């Protein structure tokens, strides 16, 4: 696999971010962006120790300057590298509350974390992905992590749904604008609880084995999306445990 | 029809807002909210001249204080009145551009105008609608004007779709939370060009007669949603000219 | 209202069929088609007694000859009348079973009752509706009764979903083909239990008042669809009790 | 890879069927079912020549007895083998016509070829797939080939849409019933023209390179679905050329 391409993941904490970094690191140097070093440093160390190449950069994905600065750092750290895959996996805080108890700030946390964060990331990465079209080992790819709330506005999830619906809308528009130019934009609806330390105490699907989503299985599906031939791009997939109600 | 109930419409300019005001004024005093008096004053005059009752209040729907102030005014102008119907019809500015030419401000104009504006309006009106459940002539109703971009992220419409998807998400969540409490929350997908002075020069659907949507027909459908029995609420309708491609 | 137009309803048993007949009989002579006279005769008598005009014809909606014969009878009984509205409300038998316990006959009962029945009815009525375009009091309308299973294939509902999905598909195709020619084709997703004698013992939505759909409220929504202006046709609505989970 | 499992593909002609057979033959003996030997014999020969194992059986997928007979043959030809993957790729004839020119036979060709054919195939394969759950190398999988018409009833595609919608409905119901029992049921929306000899003269997407779908890319996506971990099943994917309008 060419050493001249790299992948970047924003929202590189435990779970999907970490697993995606590990998966893509088999093929590319990977850059992990997260607000706090604690989120990415173990993963970075693990990849580098295993003979791969990983860089972590503390970045606020909702802040234009912070993202600009991260990409300046990338240019220095990975000189001459072109972008093969960009993964937007940033999480926004979420208040599960009755609508009348929410504040405009709760709404804006979701809109900013999902829509604005992705907007900034997409504007930064799409020009780089377009440059990679002629010689990328696989069609340059922009992947978006969505959720159940991307397609369903449930009671008590209003602000989360607002942000996730907006994120999905952006992904659709970009797929239609940049697909014909050779960039693959895909959106994944993660419909279930991911099996990470933070969720270890959650009992879901009656405690069934594999009733939470294994983050590695998400990462494998992301890799499969990235490696699709341009004559058969997927725009949207759902991913859920076999026992999940839907 | 009881004189103790009123309807409020935000985004009361020519087109859907004006037509809805005229339609609901047959049954209720109506309050028209819009940023500028030019948007509502003719409609207010027309309703009052015809023997109905209408009030116009200059309001910035995206600003909490401005909306608070409007509802203070309503309380004084329509003492003892309860809210039967609230219609969110505010338009956000829209930039039809390639994604890479857009700015974060373009995105936020759409998110603020659609999602934040509706959020503030819904938080203001839902408590009033809940109070009306026991004796409103029809189930108290919160109506939302959506667009093609509410369900489809087209190329060059990314920011508009982000705002409209978010607005639809909020509507779904509120329907699921407040429906069981007796408030009818419905979302209308207006899929076509509305026939108003501003669009008079647009040639759509090959210039077919009635190829643009008559705003009065939207208003009639809104009235029909408002008067649905609670055992048969519609959450979402589409409205488009008979000749529209879809 | 012109006396020269009529409406026809297939599946005219208690519930939606009867209520729609009563509602449309306020404006038009109505023809009720059902397999057995017991399904329609009380409704026919009630309409005629109240000063309206109704005819009942025993018809097997899945059988071309039976439907042909019914329309021959209509021509004799209502000479010179043109068709303003056709409502497809036929029910197919339904087996709620594990997939492996179903037979091909169960599947075909659903496909025939839903898709084939509608196909025959639409081929019979669309030419008549097209003739009415120039002078019908409202745009000639073909209405289709769907269900939750029209948009969701639930476990244990496989054959019902197959039939209802197919019916919805036909409705969409016809809306796109005949809308531009002036005929309004609309599909209603009835998402709940209808309040009829047969369901009186069902406890749904925790026994909430109005927790089952009042058939009159469906009929009113059907009438509202029929009277929409051609510049603002609805292709699909959902109808459900305010307390229904969705 | 275990030699004790096999895959079966119905609709094994050129295009998706052939490509899927070749792809799955890298891991399993494959059985190709098609109406006529011409459809599968070259593929069978190619696989066997290359050191894989393939069997072709002339089968009418819409006929219970023919399918029963095919599975009897499989039992003899692959003694002791368990089923790892079943792919429903049968095509039904299709008449692109105005609705009023279609016959009930056109409708039933589509319903039978899509819904009834899949129903029979699913009833035959699901018990076998359930038996494989404990030790299949990957979760036993039932894959369904859909089309644009699976989610959109276009004008002039009414009968095709009826069949494809029905097929999708069955797939959803089976995913919800058999997913929790460990069988992965997935539906693929093939949204574009497949690049096969029969379509070689079609000019699509302005003749763009890779503007038709490479069947191998579909097969690769099918393989990726088959190998998903049970904690992250996809129920539905879309596949289309990068230049396809959607």
pLDDT tens string A32-63: 999 999 999 999 999 999 999 999 999 999 99
- Mean per-residue pLDDT, C172-191: 98
Task: Report the percent of chain C where pLDDT is more than 90.
Answer: 95
What confidence score (pLDDT) does residue B109 get? 96
Confidence of residue D1 (pLDDT cuts 50, 70, 90): very low
The rounded distance, in Å, linking the Cα atoms of A133 and A126 is 11
Domains and CATH numbers, chain C: 5-239 (3.40.50.720)
Digit-coded pLDDT (tens) for C48-57: 999 999 999 9
The residues facing A106 across adjacent strands are none
- Could you tell me which chains touch chain D, where touching means 3 or more CB pairs under 8 A? A, C
Residue C104 touches chain D, beta carbons under 8 Å = yes
D225: left (phi over 0), alpha (psi -120 to 50) or beta: alpha
Among the partner-chain residues D180, D182, D210, the one whose CB lies closest to the CB of A231 is D210
Which pair of structure tokens corresponds to residue B5?
């109930």
On average, the pLDDT of chain D sits at 96
Give the pLDDT band (50/70/90) at residue D13: confident
Q: Pick from A246, C210, D127, C228: which is nearest to B221 by CA?
A: C228
A156 pLDDT more than 80: yes
Contacts of C192 in chain B (CB under 8 A): 231
Tokens encoding D52: 């894989």
* Range D14-39 average pLDDT: 97
Taking residue A94's Cβ as centre, other Cβ atoms within 10 Å add up to 18
Predicted local distance difference test score (pLDDT) of residue C1: 46
| pLDDT tens readout for residues C193-245 | 999 999 999 999 999 999 999 999 999 999 999 999 999 999 999 999 999 99
| pLDDT reported for residue A232 | 98
The confidence score (pLDDT) of residue A1 equals 46
pLDDT in tens, B170-181: 999 999 999 999
Q: How far apart are CA B218 and CA B240, in angstroms?
A: 9
The SS3 call for residue C17 is helix
pLDDT in tens, C187-203: 999 999 999 999 999 99
Q: What is the DSSP string of A96-127?
A: ---GGG--HHHHHHHIIIIIIHHHHHHHHHHH
| Closest partner CB to A173 (pick from B161, B166, B169) | B161
Q: Which residues of B touch A168 (CB under 8 A)?
A: 153, 165
How far apart are the C-alpha atoms of C59 and C65, rounded to whole Å? 9
- Per residue, the 3-state secondary structure of chain B, as one string, reads CCCCEEEEEECCCCCHHHHHHHHHCCCCCEEEEECCHHHHHHHHHHHHHCCCCEEEEECCCCCHHHHHHHHHHHHHHCCCCEEEEEEECCCCCCCCCCHHHCCHHHHHHHHHHHHHHHHHHHHHHHHHHHHHCCCCCCCCEEEEEEEHHHCCCCCCCHHHHHHHHHHHHHHHHHHHHHHHHCCEEEEEEECCCECCHHHCCCCCHHHCCCCCECHHHHHHHHHHHHCCCHHHECCEEEEECCCCCC
- Looking at this predicted complex, what is its ipTM? 0.97
Would you state the pLDDT for residue C22? 98
Which chains neighbour B (Cβ–Cβ under 8 Å, 3 or more pairs)? A, C
Q: What distances in angstroms separate CA D19 from CA B184, D5, D26, D221, one per listed residue?
A: 51, 19, 11, 11
Whether D123 sits inside 8 A of C99 (CB atoms) is yes
User: Do D115 and C178 lie within an 8 Å CB cutoff?
Assistant: no
Owner of token pair 């992990």: A32
Chain B residue with CA closest to C235: the answer is B238
> What pLDDT, on the 0 to 100 scale, is given for residue B1?
46
Taking the alpha carbons of C5, C10, C14, C15 in that order, is the dihedral positive or negative? Answer: negative
Rounded to whole angstroms, how far apart are CA atoms B188 and B170?
Answer: 13
Can you tell me the mean pLDDT for C102-109? Answer: 97
Which of B241, B194, D153 is CA-nearest to residue C139? B241
Per residue in D67-91, pLDDT tens? 999 999 999 999 999 999 999 999 8
Q: What is the rounded distance in angstroms from the CA atom of residue B143 to the CA atom of residue B20?
A: 11
Tell me the mean pLDDT in the region D143-159.
Answer: 97
Q: Is A93 a residue whose pLDDT tops 80?
A: no
Q: Is D64 exposed, middle or buried (0-12, 13-18, 19+ CB in 10 A)?
A: middle
- Beta carbons of C166 and D170 less than 8 Å apart: no
D91 against D244, higher pLDDT: D244
Q: What angle do CA B194, B198, B199 make, to 5 degrees?
A: 45
What's the pLDDT score for residue D71?
A: 98
- Residue C94 at interface with chain B, using a CB cutoff of 8 Å: no
Of A70, A23, A69, A64, the C-alpha closest to A47 is A23
pLDDT at A216 over 60: yes
Please report residues of C whose CB lies closer than 8 A to that of B216. Answer: 229
**Segment B103-136, tens digit of pLDDT:** 999 999 999 999 999 999 999 999 999 999 999 9
Rounded to a whole number, what is the distance in Å from the CA of C91 to chain B's nearest CA? Answer: 19
Q: From the CB of residue A208, how many other CB atoms can be counted at a distance below 10 Å?
A: 16
The tokens describing C133, both together, are: 């375009």
Average per-residue pLDDT for chain B = 96
């Amino acid at each position: 696999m060419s050493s001249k391409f790299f992948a970047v993941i924003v929202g590189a904490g435990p779970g999907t971010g970490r697993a995606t970094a590990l998966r893509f690191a088999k093929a590319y140097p990977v850059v992990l962006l997260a607000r706090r070093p604690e989120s990415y440093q173990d993963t970075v160390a693990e990849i580098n120790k295993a003979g791969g190449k990983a860089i972590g950069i503390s970045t606020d994905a909702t802040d234009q300057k912070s993202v600009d600065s991260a990409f300046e750092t990338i240019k220095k750290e990975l000189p001459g590298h072109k972008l093969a895959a960009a993964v937007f996996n940033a999480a926004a805080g979420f208040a599960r509350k009755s609508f009348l108890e929410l504040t405009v700030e709760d709404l804006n946390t979701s809109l900013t974390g999902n829509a604005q964060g992705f907007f900034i990331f997409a504007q930064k990465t799409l020009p780089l992905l377009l440059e990679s079209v002629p010689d990328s080992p696989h069609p340059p790819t922009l992947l978006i992590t969505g959720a159940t709330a991307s397609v369903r506005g449930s009671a008590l999830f209003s602000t989360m749904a607002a942000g996730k619906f907006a994120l999905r809308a952006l992904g659709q528009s970009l797929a239609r604008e940049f697909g014909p130019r050779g960039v693959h934009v895909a959106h994944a609806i993660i419909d279930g609880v991911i099996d990470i330390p933070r969720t270890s105490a959650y009992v879901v699907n009656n405690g069934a084995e594999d009733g939470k989503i294994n983050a590695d299985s998400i990462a494998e599906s992301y890799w499969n999306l990235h490696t699709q031939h341009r004559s058969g791009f997927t725009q949207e997939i759902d991913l859920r445990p076999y026992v999940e109600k839907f």
